[in-house]
Structure 1
Amino acid sequence: MPAHQTKTLPVAGATLHYEIWGSGPLIVIIPGGPQDAGVFAGLADQLSDRYTVLSFDPRGNSRTMTDTQPGDLDVDVIADDVAALIAANGGGPAFIFGTSGGAQIGLNLAARYPTKVSVLIAHEPPSMMLLADPEPALAGDRALHETYRRDGVEAAMGQFLAENGLDGTPDCDMPPKVAETFGRIGGNFEYWFAHGMLPLSTYRPDVEALRNGAPRIVVAIGTGSVGQPIEAMSQAVADQLGIKSTAFPGDHMGFESDVDGFAAAMTYAFLEDRHD
């Protein structure tokens, strides 16, 4: 198998762009928010000596084409797309890694397609609806959406990064491939603020289904996210499922800032049952 392949998959209402690295048991990476498959190239390279790593551009983002103008993001539909990708690449069950909004989609997939999933790592899901009092977090997202509507994408991006303790400053010396990915992601923020952020944030995971008959779930929280709003939202998922959260390297973008450590943490989490 070539080290890296780019493919497409026709599904209902869209043609998905996806990428594959390496060979071995299948890992599917579900991007979060405005991300696409290219964001995970470094992580995939680290894992590709022992796994087949697949990631994709969700509807509304980058190179996936939809038959009509995409409307508000539908978590069920994106999870259906992931199930179709698994079916087209061996049928599963697959290891699943979802980050941020992609973790919300991973939780939906695990609840609705349990036989497609071997283990799910839900990395920092923004599951505000599982908080004891979600209203403050909801108010924050509504305010961010209003900033986008009133002042545009750049103002909303600045507000989002500041509120979540993230640094959005681009590296002026980034390699051409990384710069290309960075440019694509920048173009996805319009859709995410307009149609993706609120549906992903207000999605309530089906806790009952996830407790009964779902695959093993790892709720991963970055050591650099302690004290940030995402920590409480992610911990709420673990609490509702009755499991302990797992510390992962870095912050919300730990898969980029500490690729080696993150790949090692993923590998251990996927194979945890073998260590018991």
Structure 2
Amino acid sequence: MLHRSAVEAVIRAGLAEDAPWGDLTSDLALPADAHATATVTSRESGVFAGEEVIRTGFAVADPALTVQLHVADGDVLEPGTVVATVSGPVRPLLSAERTVLNLVQRMSGIATTTARYVAEVEKTVAEVERANKLPTGTITRTRVCDTRKTTPGLRALEKHAVTCGGGHNHRFGLSDAVMLKDNHLAVLTAGGASLPHALRELRRKMPHTACMEVEVDRLDQIEDVLAGGADVVMLDNFSRADLVSGVAMIDGRAAVEASGGITLETIGDVAATGVDVISVGALTHSVRALDLGLDIAVD
């Protein structure tokens, strides 16, 4: 769940950046007692994310502003869908408009992109079930997850948006899990220690509630990683054939994650290999904002 405190911190920083000494245009051009009602509307199809941002954003700008939301996180938008109605003093309404819309448009873009990736995985699973004459739901759906490739300061909002699109969150940050990548492994084994031994020593130091994920980029690394006690094995930038081989080698001894350069065009093939998780940096690092607009009517 996206906590109001996290949203409020982002909103306050955004408002301070946009109007550090006030809104020169609104303060000079608009009467202090002017009131208005504004409608936030979708201008294209997509998936909505950001109800807490709209609610909190305008409240932070001025508690006198009232917000009525007409959609919820995860709802499908069409062109012309009314997202929210905001009423109250016009100066703070217009001063907060850009900050709030920028965030909600980005979050909705992330939710929309995630939903497309999830749909491709679901389509592949359904095709495999049909081809093998299996009842619907026989095959567990591969999870589509985000990464830490998020905008600094906006991670909580962006990861929440992924869940609105039907995806799942990977670790939130470095404090959440032990995740060893190639650079970690190079340092761990630099003194000549075997990889299984180094991982077992690390396991001894870990809290019992933490999990260990280890990245590999070759099939011949897998057995050593499993011998070291990895809970999750990340197959990084593997070919489809090697993903199939990797899943067979691991054979349920650890969860299997596929990562590296996965696109909307390739995620179906990756899901069909039987991996448990597919992590996609593109869900957050290269999305296009969904087009939303705010139109005002003077009371």
TM over 0.5: no
Give TM-score scaled by structure 2 length.
0.24
Give TM-score scaled by structure 1 length.
0.26
